[in-house]
Structure 1
Amino acid sequence: SMAVTPIVFKPMADAAVKIVKKNGFSDKIKVINKHSTEVTVGPDGDMPCRANILVTELFDTELIGEGALPSYEHAHRHLVQENCEAVPHRATVYAQLVESRRMWSWNKLFPVRVQTSLGEQVIIPPSELERCPGAPSVYDIQLNQVSPTDFTVLSDVLPMFSVDFSKQVSSSAAFYSRQFEPLASGQAQVVLSWWDIEMDPEGKIKCTMAPFWAHSDPKGLQVRGTS
């Protein structure tokens, strides 16, 4: 058995080669200074045959923001055997609706009170700005640092979609929808979102980006961060 490790960043690839050699695994681990989509399989290729295990670290705070899906799609088509084992095995994205003046202010201008020589003055944003929805942006934040008192929960946490990385993955655009049942009255101003990954097929080993207040049993979870 042998592990083939494509690393596209040359300084990191060079360091990996030295580390592998120093630890005596040069005959077991082959480091290739390529992007995984450039790796070839065959007698004269980078890999003699398709692999039966796919181990990756491709995720960012948005799960698939660093081109994870195209890399998985290519790997399943060209580099690994059908029904291979993938580590991580599965990922799930969750969402929750909340009302929050603090987070809403990141996308809206509220009246500003200032002290002047004439006393307190209130600067009111023009109505045109009030009607402007702004750009549909994703704000990368550490939800563990957001106090539950800063928002009102309007819905349960629902899974939006899951990806099984041991099967063929598509990088084509996809649309997912869920119906949220209201838990309280309010304006659904913000969608909080995070994801978790299951390292094994049975889901016994998990790594989550969920904030501490989103799950009842944090002891069994490996927390990477929250967004």
Structure 2
Amino acid sequence: MPAKDPALTLQYLDTLLRYSNFTKAAQQLYISQPYLTQLVKRKERELNVELINRHSAHLQLTEAGKLYYQYLEKINQEKVDFHQKLTQYNNNNKVTIKVGILPSMGSFILPLFVPNFMQDYPNVTLTLDEGLPSISEKKVQNGEINFCVGQSPETVSPKLKTITTGHEQYFILIPRSSKFYDERFKLIDPQKTGARHLDNKNTFTLICNICLIKERRSVP
């Protein structure tokens, strides 16, 4: 695993433990399964310990793996603290806002407001951190990013505050082979039985909330 980037290593481990499957984890990380497997094995050879228990029903960290995970969290937090302290020596007129976002969302949401925002606030620098929602939420709590843009606020950790800014409509492309296909209509009425059936089965999400997620702080 990339020892020089503890945050990325933590992301790999978190995703692997979450999906308990190298193939599914690699898909979520947009890397190949052999690459992820070799990263773990390489680090295990380097440390001369087993980090992942592959013999249990679900992948788990070994005791050595837990120790390594805590070590990564510590040095990652030290890095965050260092950069936060360093900002006092930077140009006070410059402000940096770190935003976490899902890669698939950033390509169509950010262009809607970033150009105007940068024009109105030329002293602000936006830094984007693309990643999975679960990883972005953790980075918000750790202070690595200021907030993240995500979906489905009802699934967000109660430790975080969400601000719903609107709704985004999704369309489902239905092939001719589907029982829901009807050549008489270009769009299916949401009130039709077929559309309700899809929604009730949670097969697709037709409407999702777009929300801003930031750390929940108590008011002094």
- Compare the two structures and name the one with the higher helix fraction: 2
TM over 0.5: no
Larger radius of gyration: 1
TM-score by length of 1: 0.24
TM-score by length of 2: 0.24
Quick one: higher RCO (CA 8 Å, sep 6+), 1 or 2?
1
